[in-house]
Structure formats: C-alpha cells, structure tokens
Amino acid sequence: SIYLLETLLFSDNIKKINMFDWNQQRIFVITSEKIYNIKKLKLKRFILLSKLGGISKTTAPTNTKEFTLHVNQEYDYRFVSEM
C-alpha cells in the first residue's frame, strides 16, 4: 500500500459566512494538498488546492478581514479571519 501524507501548513479558528450572511465558527486547515473546513470535530468540506481558482480579499472599510476562496466548478467560500 502507498500512503500519501499531507504536510500541515496552517491551522486556526475562523468564521465562515454562509449564504444567509450568518457567521459560523470553523477550524480552517491548509495542508500541502487541501483546504479543510471543520466544524467542531466534523469535517464539513475539503477543497483540493488544484481546484482553487483564486482568493479575493474585501476592500470594504467596514469588513477588512473578509476573504473569499473561489473554487473552480464548485461554490465559493466566504470567511472572516482575525489574522
């Protein structure tokens, strides 16, 4: 058997913004292969880095910590980070 290991690059608590503009607490994990969205200890979604089309950051003065992950052929993800 061949096991491919991912390297952890970043992990932090973050807020996901859903389609109703509600903030939801998440654990945001970036590895060498994927971006993970974890709620408590349940994996909600992962995005292959190869599917990531881009990242945009808001320039609105009221919410400068918001960014969006644009995923090719899937729906985008909005987040707010205190980082």
Find the DSSP H helices in the chain: none
How many other β-carbons are positioned within 10 Å of the β-carbon of residue 69? 20
Task: State the Cα–Cα distance between residues 80 and 17, nearest whole angstrom.
Answer: 7
Hey, what are 6's tokens? 């991912």
For the question of whether the overall pTM of this predicted structure is more than 0.85, the answer is no
**pLDDT tens, per residue, the chain with 83 residues:** 677 789 999 999 999 999 898 999 999 999 999 999 999 989 999 999 999 999 999 887 777 789 999 999 999 999 998 76
Task: State the Cα–Cα distance between residues 30 and 48, nearest whole angstrom.
Answer: 10
